[in-house]
Every structure is written in C-alpha cells, then in structure tokens.
A and B are shown apart, each in its own frame.
Chain A
C-alpha cells in the first residue's frame, strides 16, 4: 500500500515536471478527481467481490444498460424538468443496478456457476439489451438537475463543511474506539498517537478541499469546490469502508474469501453474502451510470467501454488479491487514482489514446505481477 502511495507521488511529480506544472494545477487536479470518481465508486464494491473469490466482468456493459435505461425513463416516462424527475431517475437506475447485480450474484452463488462465466455473459448481454431499449440511439438531453450529479460542484463554503465533517467523523471513530475499550477494562494507546493520526487526516482533507476550491469558474474568482461526483465517491467510500470493516457482512465476506468451507461450517449464510456483494456492485454501477450520463448530459451506448478492467485494475493495484481474502477499499481508491493519474498525465503530454490504452494494459500486468510477488512473499 505504501509502495502504491509512493508510486502515486512519483507519477505526480514526474508528470508535473514534464507538463511544466500543468499536472498539479488546481484545474487539472479537479478534473482528475472527477475522472477518478466513476472507477473509484465501482471499485469499492468490486473489492468485496474479489475478496469473496469472485470477479465481476460485467460492470462496463451494465453501466451502459443502466445509463440508457435511466435516460429512457426520464424522456419517455418522467418528464425532463419536472420536479421529481432527477431523483426518480437516479433511484430507478440504482435499484435496477442492484437487481441486475443480485441476479448475477444469485446465479453464481445458488447455481454454482463460476462468476467469471456469469459476468462474462453479463458483459456480452447487458450492452445488447441496452441496444434493444433504444435501437442504438443516444438518449439526450437529460434533466438539468440530474446533470448536476455529473458536472456540478458544491461551492467553497460547503466544501469546507464537508472537509470538517470528514475530520469530525474520523475523530469520533477514534474516540469511540477508546471509549469502548475502556468500557471493557482495556488500556488504550497513547492519546497523542490518535491525535497525530487525526491531524494527518485533517491535513490531507483540508489540502484537498483547498485545491478543489482553488479551481475557479471562468472569468471569476469564485471557487468551484468539491465536484458532486467526487462528493458521491467520498460518501460511498465512507459507507463501504464501514460495511467492510465494521459489520457482520464485511466480516463474512473476508472470512468467506479466506476459507469458504470455514465460513459455511461457522453457519455463515455464504450464498446470501455472495449475492449481496454482487448486488452492491450493481448498485454502485448504477451510481457510476448516473455520474457518467449526467456528465455527458446524454446516454450513448458506448459508455463504460473497458470500465470493468479499469475497476479490476484499480482493486489489484490497490492491493486486492485476485485469489481472494484480502483487499481494502482505501487501497482500491489509491489504485483508481493511480490509473487515472497515468491516463490524465499522458493526455497532458499529448499522448494519443491508443498509446494510453497500451500503458493501461501494462499497468494492469504490472499490478497482477506485484500481486504474485506479494503472494510468494506471504507464503
């Protein structure tokens, strides 16, 4: 993990020098954050699926289906500009995503088909279903409130509020840990260690907020603040981290990934747990579809191409083992940021998109190779 953070910092410095300071400009970092959000959002769920010794290859294709279905609903059933359209559209996409994910998860868990095959079928099928919905036409334009989920931002003041809230939550969790340990008569580590940790988080968070605020609207001094897709990512990272590390469900996913037989013998409802993990990826793919279509203000068939590979690469680069049992959501976010930084940096340097894809492929290979090295060292 530390290695990945160092790699990220190194990539940032190299790109910044090569691009004569463009890479680390507020404007580029703001864009980079937005570009990272969709892969980041979905990767938080993909981590759990991979930890449970499965894989989901369908997310790119599913994103296309969900985006088009949601857009189709907005245009044909709801009405663009009507007060309920934006949230009903989002709810529909997210719920539909959950159902599609649960379907793939149930086929995997209850029928015992390998998830590789089930979701490969999903990869082939969902985009085709999307084509059937609109006969391949791009659905556009979309509701303007809905579009804020792709290109809106929350302004300077709210960005500081969000930053402060994150720091407060981290502090509250640290405090809660100390209180619950004292309650059962355990000692705690020195208070200044906790405090130093919180201070580090605060420094990173406030630096991030300041950067987002430093990117102003054209011909104005008003900062944009945290983009809505990035805020969405932040909230989802919070929820998913909590789910993974603080709930029974998370414990079951990791335990199942470590030893499926042990989980079954311990009475864990393993089939249900695996199905839920896939349903979560489906929901998050729905969120990704909302962000992507809202940003484009359109739902073309082509969205989500190779998205599954970027998401899986983000997980693996972030330390998720493809053999299951280990991986973290924070790691996946670092992985997603690293991939997007490379792509973004290459764009800044004027590298064409074919070369970008080759670099992406090499990064994926390198990440899996690292995984194998970690495994060997562990064994």
Chain B
C-alpha cells in the first residue's frame, strides 16, 4: 500500500505567529491510497500544518513536495491546482449561500456567455452529495439554516467535486451522528480504493485506528512519532499525544520528560 513515490512530503516545516512558534521542524509523508491519521492535543498545531498544505497559511521555512516534485503553495488556489482539497475544521461555508453554491464556490460552472450554469451545478451537486447522504434534500436552502451534519456533508461534498488526489479532513466527523459517521467512514474507504491519499485529523482514537493506515503524532508543533497503526496501541498513542513519549520509552526531540 505504501509503495511508489509519496503523494505529499512536507519537510522541515516552521511556522511562527508573532511570538508563537506554532510549527517547528515538522515533517510528514502521505502515500497514494492511504489514510494518514494526524493526531495531537488541542493546540498541537495540526490545523496549522494542514492550513499550510491547503495554502491558507504560508510556511516560514521548509519544503513541500507533491508526487515527488517541489511545489510552492502560496494561496488556496495553488493548493487546489496541485490536487489538494481541504475540509476545514470550521467548514468554511458561506451561510448565506445554498448548498449548491457552496459546493461550487470559487469554481462555478459557467456557460458560453460567462453566466452561471445553475442547472448543471445543481445536477452535479446532487449526485456528489447523495454519495454522502442519500436523504439530503435541501439543495436550495441557505446553508446557515442546515443542521451540523448537513453542513458537514456540504463541506465534504465540496472536496469530492473536483477530482482531488489528496484530501485533508480536519475533524470531518465532529458534528456527525453515528450513522453519518459510518457513511463518512465508508466514503473514506471508497476514496482510498480510488488511490486518493487522505490526511485525517480526529480526536476519536477509535475512528483513527479503524480508518488509518499510519498515524503521525505531533505535540507542541513538533513531530513525535510516525508509524503503522499495527505497530502501536491506543494507549501508546495517548502517551505520545499527552507526553510526547514514543513507544520505545524515549522522548521525541524537543519534548521534556516532565508534563507539557
């Protein structure tokens, strides 16, 4: 499964916000057809690292390779151009637009006269959103009036619409009930089978172990450990998340032996 050149490689990534060193010398690798669980405590820097990959933040130093070649990701557009789609933790939906308009936001289909082709967008939106939620009806209702689960379905559908190679999911099931969570799990397996690489951030270790091939753990903006889920246990992962203590009993670089 983890053969061939990596889809994504992030190396030596640093990011500061004023005095906060949010990401320090961080690295990760994602292979085609793999789900990489990205784990860490609140504030560990998971979202920040993914926003760098998504083009929402630009890195201070470090490099990013996509399918083996170095890429400059300076804006969300750059990231989408190299085949990366992102579900943000905040979902990043425009509440005053419909589900259809949100799915196509920034990449609307236009006709020969440059006018929005509403009918085609609606047709495509329906087929993609039904993959996630066969009961979804409210295509024309404003997204602000939808339930948390429906909003999340819209945010996920947006990433499926444009033939991504790489999908970043920052807490994709946070607002979902058990049945919808299962549907997202099925979807992730299906995307994997299509050869898409997925980076999934989740606080639910059960989900992570269930869906991921490998996990990368980070703490205080630094890399702690990366390995196959089969090589570790939930308890060990919890120790890594909380203490930065890797399975062989030592501490990752930059982690003090005492708490925090």
Please tell me which one of the listed residues A186, A256, A265, A326 contacts residue B56 in the complex, with CB atoms under 8 A apart: A265
Contact with A along B44-87 (1 / 0, CB 8 A): 00000000001010000000000000000001110010000010
CB nearest to A248 among chain B residues: B108
Q: Among A251, A263, A265, A326, point to the contact of B54 (Cβ < 8 A).
A: A265
At the interface, yes or no: A144 with Cβ under 8 Å from chain B?
no
**A278-B182 Cα distance, complex, nearest whole Å:** 47
Residues of A within 8 A of B110 (CB): 247-248
Closest to B78 in A: A267
Looking at the complex, which one of B54, B105, B118, B123 makes contact with A255 (CB distance below 8 Å)? Answer: B105
User: Closest approach, in angstroms, between the C-beta of B249 and any C-beta of chain A?
Assistant: 41
Q: How far is the CB of B96 from chain A (nearest CB, A)?
A: 4
- Known contacts A185-B123, A247-B116, A262-B105; A267/B92 CB under 8 A: no
Whether B119 contacts A184 by the Cβ 8 Å rule is: yes
Q: Does A264 contact B (CB under 8 A)?
A: yes
Q: Is A98 an interface residue (CB 8 A)?
A: no
A137 close to chain B: CB less than 8 A = no
Say whether B117 faces chain A, with CB atoms less than 8 Å apart. yes
Closest chain B CB from A261 CB (angstroms): 6
Which residues of the partner chain B approach A254 to less than 8 Å between Cβ atoms?
94, 96-97
> Is B199 interfacial (CB 8 A cutoff)?
no
- Which residues of the partner chain A approach B77 to less than 8 Å between Cβ atoms? 267
A185-B123, A267-B106, A268-B105 given as contacts; is B76 within 8 A of A259 (CB)? no
**Cross-interface CB contact of A263 among B86, B88, B106, cutoff 8 Å:** B106
The 0/1 profile, CB within 8 Å of A marked 1, for residues 100-144 of chain B is 011001111010001111111011000000000000000000001
Is there a chain B Cβ closer than 8 Å to A257's Cβ? yes
Contacts of B190-238 to chain A: CB distance below 8 A: none
- Whether B92 pairs with A258 at a CB distance below 8 angstroms is no
Residue B186 CB within 8 A of the other chain = no
- A186 near B96 (CB under 8 angstroms)? no
* Contact A251–B116 (Cβ < 8 Å): yes
Contact B117 A265 (CB under 8 A): no
Chain B interface residue count, Cβ-Cβ cutoff 8 angstroms? 32
Least Cβ–Cβ distance between B36 and chain A, in angstroms:
21
- Residues of chain B with a CB closer than 8 A to A135's CB: none
Bound complex: CA A268 to CA B94 (Å): 12
Q: Is B93 at the interface (CB under 8 A from chain A)?
A: yes
Q: Which residues of A contact B239 (CB under 8 A)?
A: none
> Of residues B56, B93, B106, which shows the largest number of chain A Cβ atoms within 10 Å of its Cβ?
B106
**A246 closest partner in B (C-beta):** B115
* Contact in complex: B122, A186 (CB < 8 Å): yes
B98–chain A nearest beta-carbon distance, Å: 11
Q: How far is the CA of A265 from the CA of B102 in the complex (A)?
A: 12
> Could you tell me if B101 and A251 are in contact, using CB atoms closer than 8 angstroms?
yes
Most buried by A among B94, B95, B107, B110: B94
- A177–B115 alpha-carbon span in the complex (Å): 12
- A177-B119, A254-B97, A267-B76 provided; 11 other pairs, C-beta below 8 A? A247-B114, A251-B116, A262-B94, A264-B76, A265-B56, A265-B76, A266-B76, A266-B107, A267-B75, A267-B80, A268-B105
A-B contact pairs, 29 of them (CB 8 A): A177-B119, A181-B119, A184-B119, A184-B120, A184-B122, A184-B123, A185-B123, A186-B123, A246-B115, A247-B110, A248-B108, A248-B116, A251-B105, A254-B96, A255-B94, A255-B97, A255-B101, A255-B102, A257-B96, A258-B94, A258-B97, A258-B144, A262-B93, A263-B94, A263-B105, A265-B54, A266-B105, A267-B77, A268-B105
Residues of chain A having any CB pair with chain B under 8 Å: 177, 180-181, 183-186, 242, 246-248, 251-252, 254-259, 261-268, 325-326
